[in-house]
Amino acid sequence: METKDNYNGAMQIPVRSGFNASSTTHDVIKGVNLTGKTIIVTGGYAGIGLETVKAFVSVGAKVIVPARDINKAANNLKGIPNVTVEAMDLMDPASIDAFAAKFLSEQGPLHILVNNAGIMWVPLQRDQRGYESQLATNHLGHFQLTAKLWPALKKAKGARVINVSSFGHQMAPFNFDDPNFLNREYETLQGYGQSKTANNLFAVELDHRGKTFGVRAFSLHPGSVNGTDLGRVAPMSLFQQMGTHDANGNIFPEVAATLKTVEQGAATSVWCATSNQLNGIGGVYCENADIAELDEGNIEHNYSDPSSLRGVKPYAVDKANAQKLWALSEEMTGIRFSL
């Protein structure tokens, strides 16, 4: 039987998983056994990444957390068994290579890779190559990491790669003409949006290429989550612009009431990584622990109602865009990601 892929959203159909926006990591991990499995979670020491790590460890997995801030990571993960912290900075290609080389020399198969770390709403910053920081961190760093860990993913004979994307992909398609804002005015939400679109397109193409080797890829929107440090550097005016905060900078109580807890926010990552309901499926964008609907203008969005922020844009699962992004990512990182 030929396994299909998600080019142009071909598999973007909810499976009626039985879960919803209020489902937690505890709900989706019930009955799962990860004993003997090795997992890497980038950014696994804060927010939904930390919650994802706790869920995996609770069912027997061994988890490695690459971290830019080793001390913060060690502190936040203190007391959690079977977790190792290693140094890595997604904005520093040499550190990604060093982390991957160490993993390949010391570990066996890699069963699950969760590309969870991300930055958002930052002022214009560039890495040493001149690449815009949200693109470099959220996509290019993870593209390089996945490429370098590929031998270990193949070795698992049934691995999953999870890209934590966002509804924010709806803010911007990928700008192939000027991804690094060299010839257009920098808008942080445009930068964030295209980096999240890249997460989706990367999952589509990685799944297409990887399924022959038993590696399936997924992307997801965790939901609007309270208590993460993702928006830590955002100016209040951005939140006000989105209609979530009042003139004094306070979140509207009715908005706060609709936000997910961290346990709910991490549920979709954990579901994508472990659910049998996704066997034989890949390249899909998920939300609320289910496959999301294709958003062809049929879904009304209202930023003060997070439950309406759903669906995946056709441009973020488009076959030509996915192939083009893969080639551009190889060119920008200088890596030939051959499978």
Cα–Cα distance, 313 to 23 (Å, whole number): 24
d(CA 133, CA 239): 21
235 against 130, higher pLDDT: 130
Per-residue pLDDT reduced to its tens digit, 125-180: 999 999 999 999 999 999 999 999 999 999 999 999 999 999 999 999 999 999 99
Residue 228 has pLDDT above 60, yes or no: no
Q: What is the pLDDT of residue 3?
A: 61
268 closest CA partner among 61, 43, 28, 107: 28
All structural domains of the chain: 7-229+260-333 (3.40.50.720)
Q: Could you read off the pLDDT of 256-302 as tens digits, one per residue? A: 777 899 999 999 999 999 999 999 999 999 999 999 999 999 999 98
Residue 84, both tokens? 């190792």
- What pLDDT score was predicted for residue 252? 81
Mean pLDDT of the chain: 94
Please state, in angstroms and rounded to a whole number, the distance separating the CA atoms of residues 93 and 144.
8
Q: Is 324 a residue whose pLDDT tops 80?
A: yes
What residue has token string 């926006």? 21
What span, in angstroms and rounded, lies between the C-alpha atoms of 62 and 49? Answer: 15
CA 56 to chain CA centroid, nearest Å: 16
Read out DSSP for 52-110?
HHHHHHHTT-EEEEEESSHHHHHHHTTT-TTEEEEE--TT-HHHHHHHHHHHHHH----
Confidence of residue 246 (pLDDT cuts 50, 70, 90): confident
> What percent of the chain has a predicted confidence (pLDDT) above 70?
96
What is the band of 1 on the pLDDT scale with cuts at 50, 70, 90? very low
| Catalytic residue ranges | 192
User: For residue 230, is pLDDT > 80?
Assistant: no
Give the count of beta carbons closer than 10 Å to the beta carbon of residue 214: 14
Q: DSSP strand E in the chain: where?
A: 38-41, 62-67, 83-87, 112-115, 159-164, 215-221, 285-287, 290-291
HSE toward the beta carbon, residue 236, CA cutoff 13 A: 7
pLDDT digits (tens, 9 = 90+) for 87-137: 999 999 999 999 999 999 999 999 999 999 999 989 999 999 999 999 999
Q: Please tell me the pTM assigned to this model.
A: 0.94
| Alpha carbon 300 to chain centroid, angstroms | 24
Q: How confident is the model at residue 241 (pLDDT cuts 50, 70, 90)?
A: confident
Residues 155 and 110: beta-carbon distance below 8 Å: yes
